[in-house]
Amino acid sequence: MKTRIFILVSLVLCFSILLFFNSNILGKKNNYQVYIDGEKIDTSNVQSKNGKILLPLQELAAHLDTDVDWNEEEKKLTLAHNDDSIIFFANEKVIEKDGKKQHTDEELVIEKAKLMVPLRFFADLLGFSVKWEQAQKAAMIDTDMDTDEPFEAAAIPILMYHHFAENVSNAIIPPHEFEEQMHVLHEQGYNTIHEHDLLLAMEGKKPLPEKPILITIDDGYESNYTHVFPVLKQLNMKATIYPIVKEMRELNTTPYKPNALPKLSWEQIREMYQTGLVEFQSHTYDMHIKGTTANGSEQPLIMEPIYINEKLETEAEYEERVLHDIQLSKSIIEEKVGNKVISLAYPFGGVSEEAIQLLQQSGYKMALTTSHGANKTDNPPYRLNRINVGPGTSGSELVSIIEEEIAKLEADK
């Protein structure tokens, strides 16, 4: 008798565990509604998991009139949308977009022969907006981002770093300080973005997430790979490195330049880029130096004509020199990495109207100065401010600085 009771109790427990597993791990069905451009779609297969709405990717693609190709052997689905090619891998927390990997919060699982994908992640991936109507439990997807109603200008702080080592200076901070700062930003709910995200917001095509922040690192030191990259991977945070292109090493085995801080290799750069966490923009090809100008002052080479071989450049010579440099740096990064280059960090923060015109002519969409402060998405795109993070700054102090700069923007409304 006792044996029968034990078996019965065991069966009940097993059944309960299976129910819990099905509802919490595989996801449970809900009475959610989903609309794409105002048209309600079939939600019989909609599920939720960990507070996220999951939909079958194949059904989403069908409503968007998008081509999909399922590879049963490799358990992956390729989606072609406009000019984008996106690969979704079953049972993994990663996708690949245009050759670049991106991490997801949830593992993409197969259920009833359908690949389930988080709704908001899918929408963000394709540049769609999602609005949640709580009363109706409805997710409203808008695929048309060209709207006559611009998004409200959002505050965006841009952090500036350089090198990471124990021998500190204004441009060098200890690695443990950077790690602590990133943990605090992560805990405080800051969402790291890339320049492409900022550009879409500035063009009124896509709103930024709550508490957006852009992390930039100038020059391209190898410490970015050895000290920064592991922290970004651990916290799934994004950053952008602005290398001085000429100074990058070709291979990991390429010798370091004598009497100079070690620089990144293109192998390391590609490894970081392929994670989807790190992008690369331009810090010029070889203009991170100063030259003598017409009035005898030393100025960054990008700003104005300088003396070369004791002769002052003409305006035409200056324009030709700068155009060659910024176009070369752009093309090399795009060729070696695959990263679309749309932004430049001015060496020494030197900016002029002439330089801005040359950047526009070369296809750059924005540029970063070293002027202290935060920005709004309606700021002039070629004069973006940054917050230099010096040594001895704790994570809480950094948050206070960020909040103070954002408050200044609000006060200037």
Q: Are residues 134 and 166 in the same domain?
A: no
Q: Is residue 22 part of a domain?
A: no
pLDDT at residue 234, as a whole number: 96
pLDDT for the residue numbered 144: 67
Instruction: Kindly state whether residue 15 falls inside one of the protein's structural domains.
Output: no
Which range (5-14, 128-137, 297-306) has the least confidence?
Answer: 5-14
| pLDDT given at position 129 | 66
Tell me the pLDDT band of 97, cut-offs 50, 70 and 90.
confident
Do 97 and 163 lie in a common domain?
Answer: no
Q: What is the pLDDT of residue 12?
A: 44
pLDDT on residue 19: 41
205, 73: one domain: no
Query: How far is residue 104's CA from residue 120's CA, in Å, rounded to a whole number?
Result: 11
Alpha-helical segments (H) within 141-215: 175-187, 195-202
Position 50 confidence tier, pLDDT thresholds 50, 70, 90: low
Judgement on whether residues 137 and 235 belong to the same structural domain of the protein: no
In a domain, 172, yes or no: yes
Strand order in the sheet with 39-40: 39-40, 33-36, 138-142, 129-133
Under the phi-then-psi rule, with left for phi > 0, alpha for psi from -120 to 50, and beta for the rest, what region is 322?
alpha
Mean pLDDT for all residues in the chain: 85
Residue 11 has pLDDT above 50, yes or no: no
pLDDT score recorded for residue 24: 43
Question: Residue 219 carries which side chain, given as an amino acid letter?
Answer: D
The pLDDT of residue 20 is 43
Domain with 71, as residue range(s), is 30-142
Residues 200 and 322 in one domain: yes
Give residue 16's pLDDT: 45
**Quick one: which H or E segment has residue 12?**
helix 2-24
Give the angle 289-292-293 at the CA atoms, nearest 5°.
115
351-360 pLDDT tens trace: 999 999 999 9
> If you average pLDDT over residues 294-309, what whole number do you get?
95
Contact between 245 and 328 (Cβ < 8 Å): yes
Instruction: Dump pLDDT digits (tens) for 17-37.
Output: 444 444 444 444 456 778 787
Q: Which of 89-93, 138-142, 231-235, 244-248 has the lowest mean pLDDT?
A: 138-142
What pLDDT is recorded for position 26?
Answer: 41
352 vs 7, which has greater pLDDT? 352
Choice between 133 and 289, residue whose per-residue pLDDT is larger = 289
Q: Which structure tokens are listed for 409?
A: 């923007």
Please check whether residues 129 and 172 belong to one and the same domain: no
Q: Inform me whether the pLDDT recorded for 51 exceeds 60.
A: no
9 located within any domain: no
Same domain membership, residue 119 and residue 199:
no
Q: What angle do CA 282, 287, 291 make, to 5 degrees?
A: 155
Which residue, of 142, 166, 192, is where some domain finishes? Answer: 142
Question: What integer pLDDT is reported at residue 58 of this predicted model?
Answer: 74
82-86, 105-109, 151-155, 298-302: least confidently modelled range = 105-109
pLDDT band at 289 (very low <50, low <70, confident <90, very high): very high
Please say whether the beta carbons of 314 and 306 come within 8 A: no
Question: Is residue 140 a contact partner of residue 152, using CB atoms and an 8 Å limit?
Answer: no
The CATH number given to whatever domain includes residue 234 is 3.20.20.370
Range of weakest confidence among 91-105, 133-147, 150-164, 337-351: 133-147
Q: What is the pLDDT of residue 281?
A: 98
Q: How far is the C-alpha of 249 from the C-alpha of 6, rounded, in Å?
A: 68
Would you say residue 148 lies in a domain? no
Claim to verify: residue 47 and residue 165 sit in the same structural domain: no
**Each residue's pLDDT tens digit, 160-218:** 999 999 988 888 999 999 999 999 999 999 999 999 999 999 998 888 999 999 999 99
Question: Is residue 183 domain-resident?
Answer: yes
Q: Residues 138-151: what's their mean pLDDT?
A: 64
pLDDT tens sequence across 260-269: 999 999 999 9
Same domain for 368 and 231: yes
pLDDT greater than 70 at residue 130: no
d(CA 238, CA 367): 18
Q: For residue 322, what pLDDT is reported?
A: 97
- Report the CATH number at residue 84: 3.30.457.10
Within this chain, do residues 176 and 323 fall inside the same structural domain, yes or no? yes
Q: Choose one of 112, 142, 172: the last residue of a domain.
A: 142
Q: How many domains does the chain divide into?
A: 2
Of the residues 105, 121, 142, the one at which a domain ends = 142
pLDDT digits (tens, 9 = 90+) for 331-348: 999 999 988 999 999 999
The fraction of the chain above a pLDDT of 90, given in percent, is: 57
On whether both 175 and 198 belong to a single domain, the answer is yes
260 in a structural domain: yes
pLDDT given for residue 189 in this prediction: 95
Predicted local confidence at residue 27, as pLDDT: 44
pTM score above 0.75:
no
